[in-house]
Chain A
Amino acid sequence: MKKQIALTVNGVKRELLVNPQDLLLNVLREQLGLTGAKYGCGIGECGSCTVLLDGEPILSCMTLAVAVNGSEVTTIEGLLGSDGSLHPIQESFLEHGAVQCGFCTPGMILMAKNLLDKNPHPSEEEIREHIRGNLCRCTGYTQIVQAIKEVSLTRKA
Chain B
Amino acid sequence: MRLKPFEFLNPSSLEDVFELLVRYGNEAKCLAGGTDLLVQMKQRRILPKRLINLLPLSELKGIHKAEDSLRIGALTRHVDLERSAFLEKGWNLLALAATKIGSPQIRHLGTIGGNLCNASPSADTAPPLLVLHATVCLSSLKGNRQIPLEAFLTGPGQTGLREDEILKEVILPKPPEGSLFTYLKLGRRKSMDLALVSVAVLVTINPERKTFEQVRLALGSVAPTPIRARAAEKQLGGNLIGEEAIREAAETAAQECQPMTDLRATAEYRREMVKVLVERAVKQSLGFPIPPTGI
Residues of A within 8 A of B (CB): 1, 3, 19-21, 23, 26, 42-45, 47, 50, 53, 56-59, 62-64, 66-67, 111, 114, 129-130, 132-134
Closest to B99 in A: A129
Q: What 1/0 flags go to B225-256 for Cβ under 8 Å of A?
A: 00000000000000000000000000000000
B53 & A67 in contact (Cβ 8 Å cutoff): yes
Q: Is B276 an interface residue when CB atoms closer than 8 A count as contact?
A: no
A44 & B104 in contact (Cβ 8 Å cutoff): no
Q: What residues on B are CB-neighbors of A42 within 8 Å?
A: 1, 42
Closest to A60 in B: B105
Partner pick for B8 among A56, A66, A129, A132, CB 8 A cutoff = A66
CA gap between A34 and B8 in the complex, in Å: 25
Nearest CB on B from A24, distance (A): 11
Residues of B within 8 A of A (CB): 1-8, 10, 31, 34-35, 38-39, 42-43, 51, 53, 55, 79, 102-106, 108-109, 190-192
Nearest CB on A from B295, distance (A): 14
B55 & A67 in contact (Cβ 8 Å cutoff): yes
Nearest CB on A from B97, distance (A): 16
Nearest CB on B from A39, distance (A): 9
B8 & A133 in contact (Cβ 8 Å cutoff): no
B104 & A43 in contact (Cβ 8 Å cutoff): no
A67 & B108 in contact (Cβ 8 Å cutoff): no
A67 & B34 in contact (Cβ 8 Å cutoff): yes
Closest to A107 in B: B105
In order of increasing CB-CB distance, the 3 nearest A-B pairs are A133-B103, A20-B8, A132-B191
CA gap between A115 and B63 in the complex, in Å: 25
A62 & B1 in contact (Cβ 8 Å cutoff): no
Q: What residues on B are CB-neighbors of A23 within 8 Å?
A: 2-3
A64 & B31 in contact (Cβ 8 Å cutoff): yes
User: Given the interface contacts A43-B1, A44-B35, does A58 sit within 8 Å of B108 by beta carbon?
Assistant: yes
Partner pick for A133 among B34, B102, B190, CB 8 A cutoff = B102
B2 & A64 in contact (Cβ 8 Å cutoff): no
Nearest CB on A from B110, distance (A): 9
What are 12 pairs between A and B in contact, CB < 8 Å? A20-B6, A20-B8, A43-B42, A44-B35, A44-B39, A44-B106, A50-B105, A62-B34, A66-B53, A132-B104, A132-B191, A133-B192
